[in-house]
Every structure is written in C-alpha cells, then in structure tokens.
Amino acid sequence: MDAVARAAGEAQRWPGQVTEQTMADGRPMFYFDDVATDGPVHQAPDTRPLPEPPHAGEQRFDVLTGEWVTIAGHRMNRTFLPSAADCPLDPTTDPARPTEVPDSGYDVVAFANRFPSFAPLTVGPAADATPPPFGPADLPAYGHCDVVVFSSDHDAAVADLPAARMRTIVEAWAHRTAAHSADPRIAEVFVFENSGQEIGVTLSHPHGQVYAYPVVPPRSQQLVEQARRHRAVTGGNLLADVLAAERAEGTRVVLQGEHFTAYVPRAARWPVEVHLAPHRDVPDLAALDDAERAELATVYQELLRRVNRFHPGVDRVPYISGWHQAPTGEDRELGRLHLQLFSLLRAPGKLKYLAGSESGMGAWINDTTPERIADRLREVAS
C-alpha cells in the first residue's frame, strides 16, 4: 500500500475508544468516546440499590401463523414519558438523583435494557405448566436487548449531531452486533431507532436499541424464503440483485455514494420510505470496513435530514429506522445488510393509521407512489 492510500485509510479509521463497565445489578455497560484519551475514563460507579434484572419471559408458538410471540409481562410497568428532570438516560450530575448512566458526561453509551423483551437470565417451565394443545412447547425468551444512547444532550436529534458523533454511533452499532452475534443462541441481531411520540417513543432522549433474537423474526423469515426462491431460479442474491436493478433504473434512487446507495423500494408501504444498502455484499454492520463505516455516518444523517424536510412546515418527522442484518447461523448467505427508514406521517398533522384490511389481513395499501416519494427526497437534498 502506498503512502497516500495508507494516509486515506488512517483518516477513515475511528479515533475513539470503548470502555466497559458494570451496572449495580450486573448489567454490562459500554462507553464509546469520539476520541481516545490517555488514562482511565468513565470510572464513576453505579451506586443504586437495584434488584436483580428480570428473567426472560417466554415465547409461545402461534399455530395459526407459524410465528413465535414473545410474552414479557415484566415490561408492563416500564418507564413511560418521564419529565426531562427524571430522564433515566441523562448523565448523573447529582449523586442524589442517579440515572442509568453513572458518569457525569459521555459521548455514546450502550447498556443492557432494564426492562428487556429478551433476556439472558432464563428459567425453565413451571412443573405444573400446561403444554400447548398444538405445536411446539413454549420456550424461554432468551436474548439480549441493549439501549444505545446517542448523546448526553437530552434535546439533541441524531440528524443534527456532529459528524464525529455519528461515526461513533456506527461503531457502537457494529460493536454490539458483533458481540451478540457471537452468542450461539442468537439467531439474528436487529439495530433500530424510533423517533417521535407518534410512533410510540417512551423516552424522548435521543437513543436507539439493539435486539438479539433467539429465533429469526417473521419479516426476516419471509425475506429468507423469497431469497431462497430467487437463488433457485436465478442463482443470485435477492437483495444484491434488487440493489443492482434500482441503481440501473435510477428512477427511485435518491442518493449514491462510493459505498452506499439509497433508494425508495418499488413496492414502498409507507408514505415516506427509503432503503439504504452497501454496494459490497456484507451480512451485517460488524462486517463493514473503515471506509464504509465513515461514509455510512455521513449518508445516514443526510437521509434523516431529508426525511425531516419531507413535509413543508414540519421540523421533525417521526420515523422508524431499522438495520436488517443476515441471520447469524443457517441461511446467513441469503441475508444482506440493508436499512429501512420510514415515517408514518403522510401529511402535516396527519398520520397513516393502519386500516382494518392492513391490521387484520396484512393487505397493505399506500396512499402515494414510490416515485413521488423519491422525487421529494431528491428535492430536499442538502
């Protein structure tokens, strides 16, 4: 490698650091700093008298759909829209009012959710448990659920964070993906962010989550099956071939970089929807190289800014952003990393509510066209 190429590679390398700590109840915590420093950092202890984290609930098989449903009764009383003064994701600035983050300052922090949908602590079925009349027996809802806090600033928005911070967030996503994918009991890792009370956010502090599932979720199962059929007919990878077709046609492409392309899917379901995919075949975020991670940080924020400008007069558009990654075991070769970013806001002040046909039958109806969505996302480019 020549000196110029080496310098370019070093410039794209993340300059930060990761510090691992343990919370008062034994949950793991990881601080991600934008820039590495000498000496110990983030040494503040968690002094709260916390009980043991909850054990996993259970998964019950729905024989009518062939899907596993998770029963997590301990989440019923989880934190819901606390005041800014009581935000559990703020740094601890007053020892008398400790939060989930013991340190008085941080860049990005990830920790195991206090109210997890899936948990590593499991118990077997009760001795007097009644087995289901049909289908497989209930299973513990084993897994991992992380909270990833994007900033110590309670009022920050991901689209407006400094570029260096977004780069650190990408590293946090990749770090937690790699860690959970290494667990042999995990079938898939899903990284996502919900923004806006309109779509169910219960904590307004900027954050996302990482779910590590014990079984491949229904949407991924559908994708894998479609990818298997596509390979049998064409010999190709479905997601890679879709990306290539969208780039070739260009009608719905809204952004192209050296390593990533964003496009509105041909059968978009939501009034605002865009997918982002790497040009290289990679299974997950952990497999991205330094150059791809650096570009992803830039491209992702640009997409968020465009979504926020989509509706005139609306400052912040509620959205859901999810990274679909390949299964960790069987059928991994059929998966491919891609982002689905969408909003339920169909017009200023008007949400798309799922009608009876959509909620009850899964028969989707979009009130706009993917081509119009793409035109608007190009119009509002930075």
> Distance between alpha carbon 225 and the CA centroid of its chain, in Å?
22
Assigned domain for 102 exists: no
Assigned domain for 177 exists: yes
Assigned domain for 121 exists: no
Which pLDDT belongs to residue 328?
Answer: 98
Assigned domain for 44 exists: no
Query: Cβ contacts of residue 354 below 8 Å, gap of 6+?
Result: none
Range of the domain at 249: 143-382
Instruction: Look over the chain and give the mean of its residue pLDDT values, rounded to a whole number.
Output: 93
Type of residue numbered 161: L
C-alpha distances in Å from residue 148, one per residue of 64, 121, 136, 172, 194: 35, 21, 34, 8, 12
Assigned domain for 131 exists: no
Of 116, 151, 143, 115, the closest CA to residue 31 belongs to: 151
180 is a catalytic site residue: no
Residue 349's CB is within 10 A of a number of other CB atoms, namely 9
Per-residue pLDDT of the chain (382 residues), as tens digits, is 455 445 445 668 999 999 999 999 999 999 999 999 998 999 999 999 999 998 888 999 999 999 999 998 877 677 767 887 889 999 999 999 999 999 999 999 999 999 999 999 888 776 667 889 989 999 999 999 999 999 999 999 999 999 999 999 999 999 999 999 999 999 999 999 999 988 888 889 999 999 999 999 999 999 999 999 999 999 999 999 999 999 999 999 999 999 999 999 999 999 999 999 999 999 999 999 999 999 999 999 999 999 999 999 998 999 999 999 999 999 999 999 999 999 999 999 999 988 888 889 999 999 999 999 999 999 999 9
> One of 175, 205, 207, 338 is an active-site residue; which one?
207
Which pLDDT belongs to residue 7?
Answer: 47
180: Cα within 13 Å, side-chain hemisphere:
35
Type of residue numbered 269: R
Q: Indicate the number of domains in the chain.
A: 1
Assigned domain for 63 exists: no
2-6 contacts: CB < 8 A, separation 24 or more?
A: none
pLDDT tens, 124-156?
776 667 889 989 999 999 999 999 999 999 999
Assigned domain for 8 exists: no
Which pLDDT belongs to residue 98?
Answer: 95
Residue 8's CB is within 10 A of a number of other CB atoms, namely 13
42 neighbors 103 (Cβ within 8 angstroms): yes
C-alpha distances in Å from residue 159, one per residue of 195, 247, 298, 380: 11, 25, 10, 14
- What DSSP element (H or E) covers 296? helix 290-309
DSSP result, 58-119: EEEEETTTTEEEEE-GGGTT---S--GGG-TTSB--STTS--SB-SS--SEEEEE-SS-SSB
CATH number of the domain encompassing residue 320: 3.30.428.10
pLDDT tens, 223-267?
999 999 999 999 999 999 999 999 999 999 999 999 999 999 999
pLDDT tens, 9-35?
566 899 999 999 999 999 999 999 999
Assigned domain for 113 exists: no
